[in-house]
C-alpha cells in the first residue's frame, strides 16, 4: 500500500494518492525570515540540514507541530494570494510553477506529522490530528475554491496548445486544471460553501474512524487463562502473550494482540478450535458491537457526506466521482471486473473448503470447518498435498536476511542498486533502520527507512510513504520509508517471517522503488503520484522476485545453520503458488465489492443498518460465503473509510492484471537481468505521473495488458 500524505493539494480536495513534494529551500527571503521569527527553535522553521533533508527526529517534539502547521498555512495562503492577485497576465511560470514552489514549510510539517501519526502515534498526536484535519481541509478549499486563482489556471488551460510547453509541462497544466475542477472550482458561491462544510466534516470523521480502529485493536486482545488454550503457538510467542497480559494489568493471563485484517496470524497454528473461534469472533466484531469504538454511525455519516459531495460536483455517486480520475474511469468497468472474478473465486473457495473438511473429518475433529479454522487446515492440506507447511519455511525467513539479502539483493541484480546501513541519522523509534541507497554509478539515490515491527502506537497493515519526494525543479531527492507490522519476538529471539510477510516486504519495497526512481521535474508528478488503481502495480511486480531461484538462494537460509533452503522445498513452494487462491481472491473481491457498494449509493439511499447492508451486498453478488469473510469488514475498513482508498480498494485486483502481464514480459525476456530492470525503470518507474498511466504501461509493454495471465495465476482460467 502506498500511504497518501494528507497535504495541501492532496487531502480535502480528494486527490489522496497525489502527494505533493515541497521544496527544500524557502520561496523567498522574507518568508524565511518570518518563519524563523515566529518559530524560534522549531526544527520545521528551516529545511532540515541533514542529508537529503532527512527529518531531524531527535529534535522534533509534539509541541512543534501545531505552531509549524499554523505558520505553514499562513505562509502558504500569502503565497497563493500573491499568485492569484498578480496583476500581470497569467503565465506558466508565474502561476503553475509558482504553485509548485509554494507551501514548503507546510509540506515539511505535514509530511512528517502524517507519517509519524501513522507509524508512532500518541495521545497528543491524535489530538493534533483531530484539530488539524478540518483546518487542513479548509486550507485546501481556500486554495482550490479561490476564483481568481482558478481563472488564471483556466486562462492558461484554454490556450495550452499555444504556449510552447513541452509534454511534461503541458500535462502538468492539464492536471492542475482537472484538480481545480474536481475540487469544485466551477461551483457557485453558495455551492462552494456547501462543499467546504462537507470537506471539513469528512476530514473530522475520517480521522475519528482511523483513531477508533487503532484504539480498538489495542483494546481488543484475546485474553485466555492458560497456556494450554494457546497450544500450537511457540513457547516464545506464548511467553510474549504473558508479558502482554501483564502490561494490560492481567498478570497470570495471556493476551494475543490483533492486527487490522479479518484473519489473524495465530489462527494458522492454534490447535484448540474454541480458542480459534474466540479469536475470529473478536476480530469480526470490531467496530460493530457497541461501546466507545463502534464505528457504524461514523460509516453512515461518511457514506452520506461523500454521496452528497459527489452530487454537488455533478456525479451520481461518490464512486463515479472517484473513478473518473482513475484508469478504470467508470463504475461499470470496476463492476465488470469484480463480477468476472466473484463467481469462479467462490467456486474455487468451496472446493478448497471441501478439501479442508476432509482433513478435519479424517482427524475426527468434530467440527464444520469455518472462517476460524480455514488457516489451520489450509496448512494441513498444504502439508499433505505438497509435503510442507508454513512452519518448515519460517526458519529460512529471518527478517534481516529477507531485507538485505533478499529484497536489496534483487534490487541490486535488477537495477544495480547498493545499500549501506547508517546509524548516525536520528530515528523516531529504536526499531527503525536507515539505509543510504546508491545507484549503479555510485551516486547516492535516496535514503530508505525500514520500520518493520508492530507496536500499539502504529496503525495496522503495511505501507510506504515519503518524507521527501524527488523533483528536479526543487533539487530534492527521495527519503522513503516502508512500514510492516511483524510481531516483535522476545529479546534474543530471531524474527522469523511467514511467507505472507516475506511477500509483503517485497511488495512494499516495490512502492519504495517507485519513489526512489522518480526522475521528474515537477513535484506534482513525483514518485507514486499516479492514479490509485495504478499505484499498486509496480509494487505487485516486485513480489515476483521473492521466489526467483537466484534471489531465494541468497536470502532463504536457516537462521541457526546458515544452510540454504533445500531445493526440493523451494520446488514445493513454487508448485503451491495457486494453492488457496479461491480463498485469497474471494476475501479480496468481497472487500472490493463492499467498498463499491457503499460508494455507489446516492445520498437518498444510505441505509440505517450497516451490518444488514453489508450482508445484503455480499449476498447480492454471490460472495456471502461464511467460511471466507471479507478481508476487511465495513466497520474496520480503514482503506476506504479513512479516505485513502475510498471507492478504490479494487485497485489491488485492477493493478494485478497489469502486474501478471508484466511478470510474463520479464519471463519472456530473461527474468532477473539489468537490461530488463533498466527498461522497466526508464519506461515506467522513473516517470511518476508525467503521462497517462496506461500509456506508460503501453510504452513499457508495447501493448495493452491481457487478463489471461491474471486468471491463470489465480487458478481461474478454467472457470
Catalytic residue set = 508
CA distance 458 to 440: 34
Asked if 511 and 411 touch (Cβ cutoff 8 Å), the reply is no
What secondary structure, in 3-state letters, does 217-254 show? Answer: HHHCCEEECCHHHHECECHHHHHHHHHHHHHCCCCCCE
Question: CA 447, 10, 650, 547: dihedral to nearest 10 degrees?
Answer: 0
Q: What are the angstrom distances between the C-alpha of 433 and each of 97, 420, 507?
A: 36, 11, 18
DSSP per residue over 24-88, as a string? Answer: SS-S-HHHHHHHHHHTTT-TTSS---SGGG---TTT--HHHHHHHHHHHHHHHHHHHHHHHT-SS
Asked if 380 and 580 touch (Cβ cutoff 8 Å), the reply is no
CA distance 342 to 403: 35
Strand order in the sheet with 463-468: 418-421, 433-438, 444-453, 478-486, 463-468
Assigned C-alpha cell, 249 = 494489568
> In sequence order, what are the beta bridge partners of 486?
453
Residue 362 backbone dihedrals phi, psi, to 5 degrees = -65, -30
CA distance 68 to 66: 5
Asked if 148 and 84 touch (Cβ cutoff 8 Å), the reply is yes
Q: What letter does residue 471 receive in the DSSP assignment?
A: B
> In sequence order, what are the beta bridge partners of 453?
486
Closest among 399, 394, 367 to 379, alpha carbons compared: 394
Q: What letter does residue 476 receive in the DSSP assignment?
A: B
Q: What Rg value do the Cα atoms of the chain yield, rounded?
A: 25
What secondary structure, in 3-state letters, does 74-87 show? Answer: HHHHHHHHHHHCCC
CA distance 485 to 500: 12
Closest among 260, 255, 259, 263 to 233, alpha carbons compared: 255
Q: What are the angstrom distances between the C-alpha of 269 and each of 65, 328, 497, 653?
A: 43, 40, 14, 28
Asked if 467 and 112 touch (Cβ cutoff 8 Å), the reply is yes
CA angle at residue 262 from 618 to 266, to 5 degrees?
A: 145
Asked if 216 and 293 touch (Cβ cutoff 8 Å), the reply is yes
* Cβ neighbours, 10 Å, residue 93: 8
Residue 508: strand, helix, or coil: helix
CA distance 319 to 647: 5
Cβ contacts of 335 within 8 Å, gap of 6 or more: 596
Residue where the block lists cell 522469523 = 496
Residue where the block lists cell 489556471 = 153
Assigned C-alpha cell, 163 = 504556449
Give buried/exposed letters for 658-667 (b at 16+ CB in 10 A, else e).
bbbbbbbbbe
Cβ contacts of 619 within 8 Å, gap of 6 or more: none
Amino acid at each position: 500500500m502506498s500511504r497518501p500524505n494528507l497535504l495541501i493539494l492532496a487531502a480535502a480536495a480528494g486527490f489522496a494518492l497525489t502527494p505533493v513534494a515541497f521544496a527544500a529551500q524557502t520561496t523567498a527571503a522574507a518568508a524565511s525570515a518570518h518563519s524563523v521569527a515566529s518559530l524560534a527553535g522549531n526544527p520545521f522553521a528551516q529545511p532540515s540540514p541533514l542529508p537529503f533533508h532527512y527529518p531531524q527526529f531527535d529534535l522534533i517534539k509534539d509541541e512543534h507541530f501545531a505552531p509549524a502547521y499554523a505558520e505553514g498555512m499562513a505562509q502558504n495562503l500569502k503565497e497563493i494570494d500573491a499568485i492569484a492577485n498578480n496583476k500581470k497576465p497569467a503565465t506558466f511560470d508565474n502561476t503553475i510553477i509558482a504553485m509548485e514552489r509554494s507551501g514548503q514549510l507546510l509540506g515539511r510539517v505535514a509530511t512528517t506529522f502524517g507519517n509519524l501519526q501513522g507509524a508512532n502515534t500518541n495521545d497528543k498526536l491524535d489530538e493534533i490530528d483531530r484539530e488539524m484535519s478540518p483546518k487542513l481541509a479548509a486550507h485546501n478549499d481556500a486554495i482550490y475554491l479561490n476564483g481568481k486563482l482558478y481563472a488564471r489556471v483556466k486562462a492558461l488551460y484554454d490556450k495550452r496548445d499555444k504556449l510552447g510547453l513541452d509534454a511534461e509541462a503541458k500535462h502538468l497544466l492539464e492536471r492542475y486544471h482537472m484538480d481545480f475542477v474536481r475540487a469544485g472550482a466551477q461551483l457557485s458561491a453558495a455551492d462552494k460553501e456547501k462543499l467546504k462544510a462537507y470537506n471539513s466534516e469528512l476530514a473530522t470523521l475520517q480521522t475519528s474512524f482511523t483513531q477508533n480502529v487503532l484504539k480498538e485493536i489495542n483494546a481488543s486482545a484475546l485474553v485466555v487463562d492458560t497456556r494450554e488454550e494457546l497450544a500450537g503457538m511457540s513457547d516464545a510467542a506464548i511467553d510474549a502473550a504473558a508479558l502482554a497480559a501483564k502490561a494490560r494489568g492481567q498478570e497470570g493471563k495471556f493476551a494475543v494482540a490483533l492486527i487490522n485484517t479479518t484473519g489473524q496470524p495465530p489462527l494458522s497454528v492454534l490447535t484448540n478450535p474454541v480458542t480459534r473461534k474466540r479469536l475470529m469472533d473478536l476480530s469480526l466484531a470490531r467496530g460493530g458491537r457497541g461501546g466507545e469504538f463502534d464505528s457504524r454511525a461514523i460509516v453512515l455519516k461518511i457514506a452520506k457526506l461523500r454521496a452528497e459531495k459527489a452530487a454537488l460536483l455533478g456525479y451520481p455517486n461518490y464512486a463515479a466521482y472517484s473513478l473518473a480520475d482513475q484508469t478504470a474511469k467508470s463504475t461499470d468497468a470496476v463492476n465488470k471486473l469484480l463480477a468476472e472474478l466473484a463467481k469462479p473465486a467462490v467456486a474455487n473457495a468451496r472446493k478448497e473448503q471441501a478439501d479442508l473438511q476432509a482433513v478435519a473429518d479424517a482427524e475426527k475433529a468434530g467440527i464444520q470447518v469455518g472462517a476460524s479454522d480455514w488457516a489451520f487446515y489450509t496448512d494441513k492440506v498444504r502439508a499433505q498435498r505438497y509435503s510442507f507447511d508454513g512452519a518448515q519455511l519460517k526458519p529460512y525467513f529471518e527478517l534481516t536476511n529477507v531485507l538485505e539479502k533478499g529484497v536489496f539483493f534483487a534490487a541490486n541484480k535488477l537495477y544495480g542498486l547498493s545499500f549501506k546501513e547508517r546509524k548516525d541519522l536520528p530515528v523516531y523509534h529504536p526499531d527503525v533502520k536507515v539505509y543510504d541507497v546508491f545507484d549503479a554509478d555510485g551516486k547516492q539515490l535516496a535514503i530508505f527507512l525500514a520500520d518493520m515491527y508492530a507496536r500499539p502506537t502504529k496503525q495496522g497493515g503495511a505501507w510506504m510513504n515519503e518524507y521527501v519526494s524527488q523533483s528536479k525543479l526543487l533539487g530534492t531527492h527521495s527519503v522513503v520509508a516502508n512500514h510492516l507490522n511483524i510481531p516483535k519476538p522476545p529479546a534474543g529471539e530471531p524474527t522469523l517471517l511467514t511467507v505472507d510477510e516475506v511477500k509483503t516486504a517485497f511488495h512494499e519495497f516495490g512502492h519504495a522503488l517507485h519513489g526512489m526512481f522518480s526522475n521528474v521535474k515537477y513535484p506534482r508528478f513525483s514518485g507514486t503520484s499516479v492514479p490509485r488503481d495504478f499505484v499498486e502495480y509496480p509494487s505487485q511486480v516486485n513480489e515476483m522476485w521473492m521466489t526467483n531461484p537466484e534471489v531465494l538462494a541468497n536470502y532463504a537460509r536457516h537462521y541457526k545453520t546458515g544452510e540454504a533452503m533445500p531445493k526440493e522445498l523451494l520446488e514445493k513452494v513454487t508448485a503451491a503458488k495457486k494453492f488457496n487462491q479461491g480463498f485469497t481472491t474471494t476475501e479480496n473481491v468481497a472487500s472490493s465489492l463492499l467498498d463499491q457498494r457503499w460508494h455507489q449509493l446516492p445520498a437518498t439511499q444510505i441505509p440505517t443498518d450497516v451490518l444488514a447492508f453489508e450482508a445484503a451486498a455480499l449476498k447480492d453478488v454471490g460472495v456471502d460465503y461464511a467460511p471466507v469473510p471479507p478481508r476487511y469488514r465495513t466497520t474496520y475498513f480503514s482503506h476506504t473509510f479513512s479516505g485513502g482508498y475510498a471507492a478504490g480498494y479494487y485497485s489491488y485486483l485492477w493493478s494485478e492484471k497489469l502486474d501478471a502481464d508484466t511478470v510474463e514480459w520479464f519471463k519472456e525476456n530473461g527474468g532477473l537481468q539489468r537490461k530488463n530492470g533498466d527498461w522497466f525503470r526508464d519506461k515506467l518507474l522513473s516517470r511518476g505521473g508525467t503521462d497517462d498511466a496506461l500509456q506508460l504501461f503501453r510504452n513499457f509493454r508495447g501493448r495493452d495488458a491481457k487478463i489471461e495471465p491474471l486468471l491463470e495465476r489465480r487458478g481461474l482460467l478454467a472457470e
